[in-house]
Chains A and B, each alone.
Chain A
Amino acid sequence: MNKPTDFDTELARIDKELAGLDANVLAAPLSIERAMRYVYLLYQRASLTGRLDELTTAETVIDRLIAEVRNPSDLYFLKANIDFKFHRLSDVRRDLESDRELHDSPQGRALLADLDFQEGRYAEARAGYESVIRDERTWDALARLAHFESKMGDLDAAERLYTEAADELTAKQMRHYAWLELQRGLLDLTHGRREEARSHYRRAERAYSGYWMVEEHMAELLAAEGKYDDAVALYQKVIARLPRPEFKQGLGELYEYIGETEKAQAFYESALTDYLASAQRGEVHYYHHLVDFYADVRRDGAEAVHWALKDLELRDNYATRAALAWALYRADRIAEALAEINRALSAGAQDAHLFLRAGRIHRAAGLEADADRYAQMAAALNPRHQSFHVHR
């Protein structure tokens, strides 16, 4: 019998503890400790499995407890994290403002800095991360600043911060360590350093075996390396465990990349159905995937612009501006695309994909010199920027 993976072991531990909390854990009279443990476990399980429906279930319980508990600041913090995952950014702020101590806590301030980043206030985001790190040099605060630096092009700083974050983690936090290794691998991959990316992804797998997130990243790398059969097999495995639409889109794009358009279409259809069903439920977290899907899969500029504008309403940052620019480009609204991509570029982000699109838009606008310059910048950042990659 195979040894259970780290993922299986952690999931079993959570499930065992959940089972130990009887079905009436939320019934009156409420035991606050047991109820809090219950909700933490639900949140932990959802985070572990990546299943958004479980996150929604956890949220339902959180909302109920918030109404019953006298000091719900930890619940609001959990809620803020869920709202963040679902891109409900105004709700995140409202959650954090429900309690002054939560708002001012290192955890609350880190999340506020994330909000600043998502809402395009980059100087404030950096200041926020740095302030938290001054108070508490925790791994997640260091990783947040590393992510920021990687986006803004200071790769040395990003690598240094990721290294320091990793050094803060202990053998009791191997899943977090695996996640950090994925970030470091992704940083390498987006700069064309496949071997280094592979090395990080392998470390992630050794650190925390059986994690779907590692497999999904590895599938992208395999595809980028041209190991298409392996990549397809791994994507299929991930989708069988966790049929999220973005993974289906990824596999669809891979099939299309290798010329298997019929198979690609099936996964595209399934992904789109899921995206639209989510949007119809009032969810907003797949808007940016819909932009990419309509722009690059369907080449439907008008529909891409529709979703890009909706996403921009929620999050005005360089990435959503660039997505809108690309949607406008697909809709042949080149002048508007040019204006938007220039706004995106003005944020100072250093991203090969951004520069590649900037080059295409500038070329379409007849600005050949600028187009060449952006194409060169993209190639300089990632000599392999034309190879297979997925939308994250």
Chain B
Amino acid sequence: MADHNDPNAVNSIFSDIDVSAADLYDLFGFPSSDTDGGEKVVIALTFASVPETGVFDTDMLYRILISPDPRVAREQDEEHSLKSLLRYFDAVKEKYLGPSKAAEIRVTVDESQRATVKFIDFPGGSFQTVVDTNKVLNIDTPDGHTIKAYLGGRDDAFFNDLTGFFRSINYAPQFYYVPQTMTSARELKIPKTLLELEGNDLFNFDPADPDWGYLHVNGKPNGSKRELPPGPYTWTGDRFRKDENGNYRFVYSGYDCQQGKNINGIILEIPLAFITRSPARDRIVNTWGESWVLKAADKIETIPDHPFWLENPLAVVGALKLDDELKRYKLVDTDGQPFADAGLSEREDSRQLGANNFWLAPTFVKRLAHLGWGFAPSITALGLQSSFDHDNSPVSVHKTYATAVAAFPRAKRTLFQELNMPDDSWNPKGLNIPLRRSFEIFIPNVCAIDMDTTGTWPYGRRPEDQVATRFLSLFLDMSAEFNGRKYHIDLLNDMSLWAAAPIEPKTPPNPLKNDKEFLSHFPYLADPWVSG
């Protein structure tokens, strides 16, 4: 009598959580300095080097989506209200759900580590080619362009004190063993902060265990987590922690947690004229990446490569129903803007929406206000001015909002202020390009590369950009001045600021440069580490 043949027989009990090739790390995008034969844009999608550096997971499909647009001039008398913000989100929604469709580059790799690269719905049509991995190569397009490509292992171009970030948001699983079912013990209900809170023993730096929280980080030997002590997991103090010299303690150390690590990546240098028929008009190249994993049913229905493609590695495939291919895969991750997921969407699987993240607009406003109550008092305690209205709270506050309406007044300035750039180098042509604002940067979740700029964040993203620290600058009041200059997105990278601040350690939050020099030429990201 069949009475106990339960699905539980194969329940994997949380144990499937391994590092996955589906885990997208970063998307870089910037105009190439090589303009011979016309402008080109560099796009690099990086992801976990699984199964190993330079070896691709053959069950994966990666997409880089590209949608060119003209730069939109800003209205002079624009209203800074929730209503106008929602109008913006609606316009974004129309754009990404409307008739215009993004072109895409689709990559799969076979067992012999040859990559099939499909270019779909570009103005010159669709075509595909089969190329080697781990080599710089040229792909000639049917309409006479040449695309540079590199698909393979590189050094991880992200340089970041990830542990410091997790300490700033009191993310327990970085420091403690937290059971999977204990979902309430992830971001603990302790104020987010840049400065340690007096008595926040759950997360404050432990001089007796200085490497605590640095998990699997090169150069930091202690990778162990502690047992989560009994709750409540809250904080009842009323001030930032100060040492005997009256200095605050920074939650960041400036340590590069990614040092010595590798990624696998898809790096392309694409002529703008291949992306749009109107390169002079379409100055913004919106791009984002997606990872998809083959469905189980399709794994066993694998059809051998059609002989035509093997014999004709470069061929026009417009007649093929390529979307049938995508139906065989399941979307796992998206990447457009740094920190859009980790910082603003709380890492929820259900929020992997990429350009379609306009649905999350209310969440974005609420989350930004929640972060503001944490970070802004830290900023003002250091003598800096914040864009976030925190009622001059002397210490960080843990506050959440049920509605965007309630959160908006606090975050209004953070949302609408223009983010000053450190100098004019980002705008080499001296064009009238509006400074970007946080709501425009994160919704939609795309990397919007301005072809008339250097492509430094937020006008794209260059490998050398310290985006983690620039993200924190959203909470600075860009109308304020430091040393006679307006605040800007690199202010928190300024060593003179930290040298003068009552804080230890005297360091920018994150490392100022990558652990390996970037290349000045394609593929730009550094060679992989031998042992990475």
Let me know if B297 is at the binding interface, CB within 8 A: yes
Residues in B whose Cβ lies below 8 Å from that of A175: 10
Known contacts A71-B227, A176-B12, A171 near B182 by CB under 8 Å: no
Let me know if B304 is at the binding interface, CB within 8 A: no
Q: Are B1 and A319 in contact (CB under 8 A)?
A: yes
Q: Closest chain B residue to A143 by CB distance?
A: B7
Residues in A whose Cβ lies below 8 Å from that of B403: none
Q: Closest chain B residue to A285 by CB distance?
A: B4
Q: Are B1 and A99 in contact (CB under 8 A)?
A: no
Q: Are A171 and B294 in contact (CB under 8 A)?
A: yes
Residues in B whose Cβ lies below 8 Å from that of A174: 296, 299
Let me know if A167 is at the binding interface, CB within 8 A: yes
The stretch among B13-21, B203-211, B507-515 that forms the contact with chain A is B13-21
Q: Are B181 and A99 in contact (CB under 8 A)?
A: yes
Interface residues of A in 47-96 (CB under 8 A from B): 47, 69-74, 77-78, 81, 84-85, 87
Q: Are A172 and B11 in contact (CB under 8 A)?
A: no
Residue of A43, A71, A73, A85 with highest tally of chain B CB at under 10 A: A71
Let me know if B486 is at the binding interface, CB within 8 A: no
Looking at chain B's contact residues, the main secondary structure is: loop
Let me know if A382 is at the binding interface, CB within 8 A: no
Q: Closest chain B residue to A166 by CB distance?
A: B297
Residues in A whose Cβ lies below 8 Å from that of B320: none
Let me know if B393 is at the binding interface, CB within 8 A: no
Let me know if B278 is at the binding interface, CB within 8 A: no
Query: What's the least CB distance linking A343 to chain B, in Å?
Result: 14
Q: Are B6 and A40 in contact (CB under 8 A)?
A: no
Q: Are B229 and A170 in contact (CB under 8 A)?
A: no
Q: Are A84 and B3 in contact (CB under 8 A)?
A: no
Residues in A whose Cβ lies below 8 Å from that of B181: 73-74, 77, 99, 101-102, 105, 107-108
Q: Closest chain B residue to A319 by CB distance?
A: B3
Let me know if B293 is at the binding interface, CB within 8 A: yes
Residues in A whose Cβ lies below 8 Å from that of B225: 32-33
Residue of B8, B16, B181 with highest tally of chain A CB at under 10 A: B181
Tell me, in angstroms, the Cα distance from A124 to B5 when the chains sit together.
19
Tell me, in angstroms, the Cα distance from A354 to B295 when the chains sit together.
37
The stretch among B172-180, B370-378, B404-412, B443-451 that forms the contact with chain A is B172-180
Query: What's the least CB distance linking B187 to chain A, in Å?
Result: 15
Residues in A whose Cβ lies below 8 Å from that of B180: 74
Q: Closest chain A residue to B299 by CB distance?
A: A171
Q: How many A-B contacts are there with CB distance less than 8 Å?
A: 159
Residues in A whose Cβ lies below 8 Å from that of B293: 170-172
Q: Are B14 and A40 in contact (CB under 8 A)?
A: yes
Tell me, in angstroms, the Cα distance from A41 to B12 when the chains sit together.
11
Let me know if A232 is at the binding interface, CB within 8 A: no
Query: What's the least CB distance linking A208 to chain B, in Å?
Result: 9
- Per-residue contact bits, chain B 11-37, to A (CB 8 Å; 1 contact, 0 not): 111111000100000000000000000
Query: What's the least CB distance linking A36 to chain B, in Å?
Result: 7
Q: Are A85 and B296 in contact (CB under 8 A)?
A: no
Let me know if A114 is at the binding interface, CB within 8 A: yes
Query: What's the least CB distance linking A349 to chain B, in Å?
Result: 9
Q: Which of B16, B20, B177, B296 contacts A36 (CB 8 A)?
A: B177
Q: Closest chain A residue to B5 by CB distance?
A: A392
Residues in A whose Cβ lies below 8 Å from that of B183: 101, 105
Let me know if B230 is at the binding interface, CB within 8 A: yes
Known contacts A32-B177, A101-B183, A186 near B2 by CB under 8 Å: yes
Q: Closest chain B residue to A202 by CB distance?
A: B300
Residues in B whose Cβ lies below 8 Å from that of A203: 300
Q: Are B179 and A179 in contact (CB under 8 A)?
A: no
Q: Are B3 and A190 in contact (CB under 8 A)?
A: no
Known contacts A32-B227, A40-B15, A71-B179, A84 near B6 by CB under 8 Å: yes
Q: Are B184 and A176 in contact (CB under 8 A)?
A: no
Query: What's the least CB distance linking A205 to chain B, in Å?
Result: 9
Q: Which of A70, A140, A207, A391 contacts B229 (CB 8 A)?
A: A70
Let me know if B500 is at the binding interface, CB within 8 A: no
Question: Which A residues fall within an 8 A CB radius of B?
Answer: 31-33, 36, 40-41, 43-44, 47, 69-74, 77-78, 81, 84-85, 87, 99, 101-102, 105, 107-108, 111, 114, 118, 140, 143-144, 147, 151, 166-177, 179, 183, 186, 190, 203, 206-207, 288, 292, 315, 317, 319-320, 322-323, 351, 353-354, 391-392
Question: Which B residues fall within an 8 A CB radius of A?
Answer: 1-16, 20, 59, 177-185, 224-230, 293-300, 330
